[in-house]
Amino acid sequence: MPLWPRLCALSAVALISGVIHQPSADAHGVESSLRYLEGQLELTSSFSTGEPVEGAVVRLLQADGSAGEELGTIDADGRLQLQLSAVEDGLVDLQVDGGPGHRDYLTLPLQQGVVNLDEVVETPKPLPWIAWLSAPALLGLVRTMAKVRGHDRDH
């Protein structure tokens, strides 16, 4: 098989895998859960190793994804009692921020300050635009490699 078709096939595979690949949780991913304990909503967050995400800031997110109101910080046991009675009804996005690479996101269905725990959605916030930005660079690299290999064969 000639070089050019092999390089095109390799580029296509690399591009597709970069576009559809979802980042996997690493050893320090943050996992969060909610429960009602004696009528109080409690958020529990820990690293995937089980260690509490002590000091992580918990905040609401604005509709555009920017930081909103801070609700508190995770304690040494990995817990935070949440008060959502002043928050408007609807879907509310919550971020547990333990620092870069150590975040968790929850979407809470809220009605009159009460969260329906059966409908809470944990959502990763991947950066799909990175794959799209890297695609032209990958294709350029493949083209350069093809030119260099073609030049080497001629000499």
CATH of the domain at 44: 2.60.40
pLDDT digits (tens, 9 = 90+) for 62-121: 989 899 999 999 999 999 999 998 999 999 999 999 988 899 999 999 999 899 898 888
SS (H, E, C) 39-67: CEEEEEEEECCCCECCCCEEEEECCCCCE
Q: Indicate whether 42 belongs to any domain.
A: yes
**Domain housing 112:** 30-124
Q: What is the pTM of this model?
A: 0.61
Q: Indicate whether 24 belongs to any domain.
A: no
Q: Indicate whether 146 belongs to any domain.
A: no
Q: Indicate whether 11 belongs to any domain.
A: no
- What total of structural domains would you count in the chain? 1
Residue in the structure block whose two tokens are 């996101």: 105
